[in-house]
Amino acid sequence: MHKLIVCRHCDHIIKLPELKCGQKAFCGYCQAPVFEPKETSVQGAFAFALAALILLISALTYEFISFTMGGITHSVSLMSALPTLAQHNGALLAIILMTFVVFFPAIILLTVLAMYSPIWLYVPLKVARRLTKLLSHAEPWNMSEIFLIAILVSLIKLITLADIQFGPSFWAYAGFVACFIQMLNLIQLDSLWERITPYESPIFVDLSKRASDQGLVSCPTCGQVSSKHRCPRCETALFSRKPDSVNKVTAWLVTSIVLFFPANLLPIMNTQQLQDVIPSTIVTGVLQLWNAGSYPIAIIIFIASVLIPVLKLVAIGVLLYQVKQLSHDNSRHYTKIYRYIELIGKWSMIDVFVVIFLVSLVQLGVFMSVTADIGTLFFALMVFAQIMAVHYFDPRLIWDNPKERHG
């Protein structure tokens, strides 16, 4: 039997056929992917979640990496990095490290372990709904893989200057990231919601009309289509469009533009060698990598920290302009732009994590040390403002007529 769903990008109702693993369904209007069944495994997801949790605890317990230069050695663990960051102008960086690299992944792992264990059968319906909603909201804020890549980028900078020794926690963390990614690949939120309350397709609908034109709303959390003000499946408050979307996106966009200039012009860190203090901005850091012959790394940092933020600013501005236009000739094209900027959102944080790692590791007193500078704060806030701008943007507005906009 065909399942009726609503595309979250354009608000058209789609008749979804039964799909096999490896197949993917696309919206016939905006061409956005709407469903792709996964080869889920309860035992596999539980095993990888448990392994990832054990490896994460190990990564927090032992020595992570050591840095030796001129006979002086400094070792760091993920937990000892927190006071080190706080002592070197990086209190906010310590919070970022704990929140996005430890806290959110740990919340996700504990939730998955509860969902795929026998105790899930005895969890009250209300608690099960809250835990599944927590999982769906926490997953986008996991940045553990970005931190691992930032470490590798940092090592390219350091490997020619000093002797680097990997501790057991480094390998544990690398294993944690691998297990965590595999666990996510074995999880499908639609299947989790089906275990709580089966999906009910709307009845008496006109497939030629959009959902909002028929008083229907697709739940942003579980996907259930309903005509009520609160989702009958997960109890999320339902709105035809994200409330006050344009004004919120505009505010976050203006904020990110204001932050963009100090983020790129002010130094993000200072390197002290004996009596010399060398400030580094994002651009000078890219140039140093390029001049050192690390061309691939320089290109990666330039794309993630300079090019992507600029393109996102332009793209968000273009999308805001488009929602006010009466013509929908290029709506599919603008929807694709939205999908791209939504996908790459958090990867601009790579430079922030590079600074976090360097400040934590390179502390050899007056011989050589790295401290965070104000530019890192502005850059982190700029990336967050851009993420929030994309979060509050409602792509369905691209397909709406401004004169007939749904509330």
pLDDT for residue 253: 96
Specify the 3-state DSSP secondary structure of 12: strand
Could you list the pLDDT tens digit for every one of the 407 residues in the chain?
Answer: 578 899 999 999 998 888 887 788 999 889 999 888 877 777 888 999 999 999 999 999 999 998 887 777 888 899 998 998 888 888 899 999 999 999 999 999 999 999 988 888 888 989 999 999 999 889 889 999 999 999 988 887 777 777 888 999 999 999 999 999 999 988 888 888 988 889 988 888 888 889 999 999 999 999 999 999 999 999 999 999 999 999 999 999 999 999 999 999 999 888 877 677 778 888 888 887 788 777 777 888 888 888 889 999 999 999 998 888 766 678 889 999 999 998 887 888 888 998 898 888 877 766 678 888 899 999 999 999 999 999 999 999 998 876 655 54
Any domain includes 201: no
Any domain includes 20: no
Any domain includes 221: no
pLDDT for residue 1: 56
Burial class (CB in 10 A: 0-12, 13-18, 19+), 399: buried
CB-CB contact of 187 with 112 (8 Å): yes
Any domain includes 347: yes
Any domain includes 35: no
Instruction: State the residue range of the domain holding 252.
Output: 238-407
Any domain includes 243: yes
- Residue keyed to tokens 């004169």: 403
Q: How far apart are CA 185 and CA 187, in angstroms?
A: 6
The set of residues, in sequence order, having a beta carbon less than 8 Å from that of 212 and lying 6+ positions away, is 11, 240, 241, 396, 406
Any domain includes 133: no
Any domain includes 165: no
Q: How many domains does the chain have?
A: 1
Q: How far apart are CA 16 and CA 27, in angstroms?
A: 9
Q: What is the pLDDT of residues 67-111, one digit of tens each?
A: 887 777 888 899 998 998 888 888 899 999 999 999 999 999 999
pLDDT for residue 402: 66
Q: What is the pLDDT of residues 165-211, one digit of tens each?
A: 899 999 999 999 999 999 998 888 888 898 888 998 888 888 888 99
